[in-house]
Amino acid sequence: MYIAANQISMKIKLLFIFILICGISLAQNSFYVDSIQKSIENFSKKEQLKQILEIPYDKFIGNLTTSEFLAQKAVAIAIELNEKELLAEAYLQLALINNYRDQREKKIVYNLNAIRIYEEIGKLEKAGYAYGELGFSIKREDLKSGLHYMRKGLKLIEQIKTSKKADATFDNYGILQSMLKNYDSAIYYHDKSLQIKKQNKDSIGVPYGYVHLATVNIYLNNFSEAKKYIDSAHAIRSIRKDIYGITDDYVYYGDLYFAEKKYKQAIDNFKKGYILSIENNFLSLQKYCADYLTKSYLELSDYKNAFNFNKIFQTLKDSTINTETNGKVAALQIEFETEKKEKEIAQQKEQLLKNELEIKNKNLYALLFGSGFLVFGIVSFGLYKRQQHKKREYNNQLQLKEAQTYSKLQDQRLSISRDLHDNIGSQLTFIISSIDNLKFLTDATNEKFKNKLTEINQFATSTIDQLRDTIWAMNKNEISYEELQSRLLTFIEKAKSAASDIHFQFKSDVTGTIVFSSIKGMNIFRVFQEAINNTIKYAEATEINILISENSKNIEFEIEDNGKGFDKNTVELGNGLENMQQRIMEVGGTILINSQPNRGTSIKIVCPKNKTNAV
């Protein structure tokens, strides 16, 4: 007893020391940026600009609020002094801040502004670096475009043999190769980047190289090697008091222990990262920790904590990803690419004019012949480019009309769901309340009438639950697996309350990103509900085990009980099963039932993961 008390006391002390150290680190980073803000007040504008742009990376992201104020100030000064190259650097600072705040639209706008300036003034190396940062920042939302921009950046950087920007771009490109599961290529680019960082004695960049190599080794199950890399990164970052880096390290430790299935240790580290990301407004890390805390608690069958962190994750995800933002981001990329194409056309026309002037210096016959041929070529080329331009404009207008149509449909869906909620929902609630009042007014001896009222009450309550589920699905164009899982966990909690004598076991082995259409997600949820309800009503079971798994093509839901079972050859299956089969067939899936008397029942639902296969 005494030893246990000492262990608890020691844990409390260690937690206090951890919070104190992180607080000191944060204060030092904040003090550094705050001191820059105060110290430059009496400097010339040019010197102020220089001081702001030379703030070290780890100090800059350690106090995002003050850093954003200084970066905005740098933009204003650079515009006033007409310092284009420094203006581009200030835009990259703002892109960095919005990347850590998970503000997708803003980070892309600032990145594109920097690229335009660098290309305009002929700074190809820096333009390549900015392309690489743009590609890296959109890798989660659009991996194909991310690879396109990163390869464009690498091509520009590799033209400069003495490039000082290559290490970061090589490192980030290695991460994209890991996402494509090209692990040999990932290690090659991470090692290439790390050698440059070490040659430059880059104490900020080296830890990033270590943790990225650790990630590849986690994918390859080289856990001891991965831990060495993370330990090395953490040692350097602790000495530098790099608050973002320290937060990042705890997330990598969490990834390592999660991959090793040491879920309690994973939870400890994800919680540390989660606390620090909240304190420092690192929204992307906060969201990542909430997601993996959900997954870790699910592995330990701690559904209460899993449900709580899943709600936090969904809130954070919904706050940063929505249809409007996706549309704006896509429009920005289209606008940027269109602008570049138009510049290329202008350059081509300029080159043609130069060629025409050179031809005029030749003899008259050659001049006449060549001029006629050139005019014909220019006209044909101009007509072709005009036609291509019209085609692009038409496609852009078509996309705009589709977006407007989708917006109108979304508004109609929201209007219908509000009407269902406000009118039908309130009317059903009124019916339930009226039935409850009637039960009190009815003669106590009229038990049959009271039972009938109770049945009607239960039916109306069930109808309201189904109506709420329908409204939930109507309000979404698509449903992620995380949202469906959250809905399933809520239903299981209700089922446990209604059937307290049954033990529920829930496990999910789904690790990838899966998105369903709203109809497909709703159908799967309804069939899952029906299967659980039938088991509770008829199986006389004491255990219900639920397993959700995936393979390359399908996601599978299996509900297994230890109830009385039945003989499929002698028992006539009712409308409930037919409805379940019909719903799954509508979304391109199958439902398999295996049961034997006194040996329980197993129901397996198999659905394709690709949402285009569904309605």
Report the 3 state secondary structure along 259-299: HCCCHHHHHHHHHHHHHHHHHCCCHHHHHHHHHHHHHHHHH
Per-residue pLDDT band for 118 (boundaries 50, 70, 90) equals confident
Evaluate whether 240 touches 248 at the Cβ level (below 8 Å). Answer: no
Q: Is 9 exposed, middle or buried (0-12, 13-18, 19+ CB in 10 A)?
A: exposed
- What are the pLDDT digits (tens) for 54-70? 888 777 777 778 888 88
Task: Identify which of 103-112, 166-175, 249-258, 380-389 has the greatest average pLDDT.
Answer: 249-258
Residue 327 pLDDT more than 70? no
Q: What local confidence, expressed as pLDDT, does residue 427 receive?
A: 55
Separation of alpha carbons 591 and 390, rounded Å: 50
Q: What local confidence, expressed as pLDDT, does residue 20 receive?
A: 44
Q: Cβ neighbours of residue 201 under 8 Å, at least 6 residues apart? A: none
Q: Which long-range contacts (CB under 8 A, 24 or more apart) does 364-372 make?
A: none
Closest listed residue to residue 600, CA positions, set 565, 558, 560, 559: 565
Per-residue pLDDT band for 587 (boundaries 50, 70, 90) equals confident
Which residue's structure tokens are 């204060």? 27
What average pLDDT does the segment 499-517 reach?
86
Q: At what angle do helices 183-199 and 166-179 cross, to 10 degrees?
A: 160
Evaluate if pTM is beyond 0.85.
no
Closest listed residue to residue 67, CA positions, set 56, 78, 77: 56
Residue 184 pLDDT more than 70? yes
Separation of alpha carbons 194 and 205, rounded Å: 8
Separation of alpha carbons 34 and 28, rounded Å: 10
Residue 490 pLDDT more than 80? yes
Q: What local confidence, expressed as pLDDT, does residue 324 receive?
A: 44
Residue 204 pLDDT more than 80? yes
What average pLDDT does the segment 550-560 reach?
90
Mean pLDDT of the chain: 78
Evaluate whether 295 touches 259 at the Cβ level (below 8 Å). Answer: no
Per-residue pLDDT band for 241 (boundaries 50, 70, 90) equals confident
What average pLDDT does the segment 460-488 reach?
72
Q: Between these two residues, 162 and 371, which has the higher pLDDT value?
A: 371
Residue 585 pLDDT more than 80? yes
Per-residue pLDDT band for 197 (boundaries 50, 70, 90) equals confident
Residue 212 pLDDT more than 90? yes
Per-residue pLDDT band for 534 (boundaries 50, 70, 90) equals confident
Residue 334 pLDDT more than 60? no
Q: What local confidence, expressed as pLDDT, does residue 188 receive?
A: 92
Evaluate whether 131 touches 152 at the Cβ level (below 8 Å). Answer: yes
Residue 529 pLDDT more than 50? yes
